[in-house]
Amino acid sequence: MELQAVPEEVLADAALIRYLADVARDTALLNGVLMRTEEEPNSSELVTYAPFTLFPTAVPRGVFEQALAVQTHYNLLVDKISQDTQFLEEALASTAESDDFTGRLFNIYRQTTKEGRSQPIVLGLNRSDYMLDQREDGPAALKQIEINTIAASFGGLASHTPHLHRHVLNVAGLRDHSRRILDNNPAAGLARGLAKAWELYGSERAVVMFLVEDVQRNIMDHRRVENELWSRNIPTIRRRFEDVSLDQDKRLFVDGQEVAVVYFRNGYMPQNYPTEQSWEARLLMERSLAIKCPDIGTHLAGTKKVQQVLARPGVLERFFPDRPQVVQQIRDTFAGLYTLDQGPEGDQTVAMAMANPDQFVLKPQREGGGNNIYGSEICQVLEGVKGNSKRMAYILMDKIQAGASQNYLLRRGAPLQLSKCLSELGVFGVYVRQGTDMVMNECVGHLLRTKSSEHADGGVAAGVAVLDNPLLV
């Protein structure tokens, strides 16, 4: 089943499409929907538009509102998991043994938990990602792909794409369509969470530190949030894993500046830790009084293995024992998730995947896009880890049967052609907890990303998906 945002005759009018594409590119540049170029990834002297769809994509209003409504419950769930040492030990023990990256993160968690947490203030900036499962002619069902608890991106650029698509629709003579694109400003919401955490830290001279990667093509996305903080007179700096230090009171310093909040836009992949010094810096930050976004428990709460364990019968009730409606709202978004741990249950999962690999996705414990495994490659990977513990580094998930749409994907240097597309809806959540008091818990916006159906996996930063907007139908 296809949901189409614009009439077929508009999509087929080649002259109009060429004109609208020129208008759209200029509007993106005019409104700061920008990225640095591949040739100069660390220089803002040469920038281009971030890739985006020419038209918004139709999304059923009911499932869109469902995704927004469940986000504050997901915020609470992630926070509860991060504090539950027994649950994380039970859920991640096997994965930590078989996956070195998860293991090293988990060792930091164990060490800092044993020492005692220095900072009672917790800040979460999360994004829960979904696709619409479209089976036969039934209604579309919202199914979660993953929840990102570290470096959830594109809240900045998503704040400026609604105007872009409204303008394109208006120029195309589709003014009624443009009214069905909602205002969206996740950058302001993310900044509110960072500002609240900074305020609770209690030092006007302390800074918010964005921990960033060496290559920064997506810096404009960061800058939107940074500028929101500067507009509140909150000092903000950008640093890599480098010279951080603690004083005798466990206050964190970098270049002589006290750090109130460490906002991780780095640290989610093994290559983000090129040296032992990087791992030592992560441990040092976890030990410090600085508020970490995320702290190590929240980082681990976003792993694929935790996602799979949560789908087991009775597990959600552990975190919401007296709230069956909340449990049901969350569970309604789960796709089928299966363990690959050693034992009969894991063996059954392997047999199921080998028999029908096109029905599943094999997921490692990685963020950043482009890591999932599909089709015949699933069989190859599972054959390669047959009979050893390395298979426990993965989980298996049902492949979402998403409905396709027709759209033009605008990328610098790419031909202008109509593509069959699939979309993924992300919802941003922000929470701040001080001790046992949840002082902020909000859904602060959304993100739609779209890619050609010929690509199985990959996000915007990975060069596959492009920015989009939901047009509610």
Query: Among 148, 185, 266, 407, which one carries the catalytic annotation?
Result: 148
Query: Among 75, 126, 128, 153, which one carries the catalytic annotation?
Result: 153
CB atoms within 10 A of CB 271: 10
Using CA atoms, how far apart are residues 281 and 271, in angstroms rounded to an integer? Answer: 15
* Cβ atoms of residues 434 and 18 within 8 Å: no
Query: Among 217, 305, 449, 451, which one carries the catalytic annotation?
Result: 449
* Cβ atoms of residues 427 and 64 within 8 Å: no
* Cβ atoms of residues 400 and 445 within 8 Å: no
**Whether residue 367 lies in the annotated active site:** yes
Query: Among 213, 228, 286, 367, which one carries the catalytic annotation?
Result: 367
Query: Among 363, 366, 399, 433, which one carries the catalytic annotation?
Result: 363
168 contacts: CB under 8 Å, gap ≥ 6 = 20, 23, 24, 27, 54, 55
**Whether residue 304 lies in the annotated active site:** yes
Query: Among 368, 370, 403, 463, which one carries the catalytic annotation?
Result: 368
How far, CA to CA in Å, does 420 sit from each of 273, 347, 381? 38, 36, 29
Using CA atoms, how far apart are residues 468 and 445, in angstroms rounded to an integer? Answer: 14
**Whether residue 420 lies in the annotated active site:** no
The closest of 417, 334, 429 to 141, measured between CA atoms, is: 334
Using CA atoms, how far apart are residues 150 and 365, in angstroms rounded to an integer? Answer: 13
Query: Among 127, 166, 287, 391, which one carries the catalytic annotation?
Result: 127
Using CA atoms, how far apart are residues 414 and 16, in angstroms rounded to an integer? Answer: 18
**Whether residue 363 lies in the annotated active site:** yes
Looking at this protein, which amino acid is placed at residue 355? A
The closest of 102, 116, 444, 108 to 302, measured between CA atoms, is: 102
* Cβ atoms of residues 67 and 60 within 8 Å: no
Q: How many residues does the chain have?
A: 473
Query: Among 146, 213, 226, 228, which one carries the catalytic annotation?
Result: 146
Query: Please, what sign has the CA dihedral across residues 317, 323, 324, 327?
Result: negative
Q: Give me the numbers of helices (H) and strands (E) for the chain, helices first please.
A: 17, 21
Token pair, residue 378, equals: 């699933």
Using CA atoms, how far apart are residues 340 and 418, in angstroms rounded to an integer? Answer: 39
**Whether residue 148 lies in the annotated active site:** yes
**Whether residue 227 lies in the annotated active site:** no
**Whether residue 153 lies in the annotated active site:** yes
Using CA atoms, how far apart are residues 456 and 445, in angstroms rounded to an integer? Answer: 26
Query: Among 282, 304, 305, 399, which one carries the catalytic annotation?
Result: 304
Burial of 39 (0-12, 13-18, 19+ CB in 10 A): exposed
* Cβ atoms of residues 12 and 46 within 8 Å: no
The closest of 374, 423, 419 to 394, measured between CA atoms, is: 374
CB atoms within 10 A of CB 253: 16
Beta strand pairing call for 470-472 and 57-59:
parallel
Token pair, residue 340, equals: 């690959």
The closest of 162, 169, 157 to 20, measured between CA atoms, is: 169
Residues with active-site annotation: 127, 146, 148, 153, 304, 363, 367-368, 449
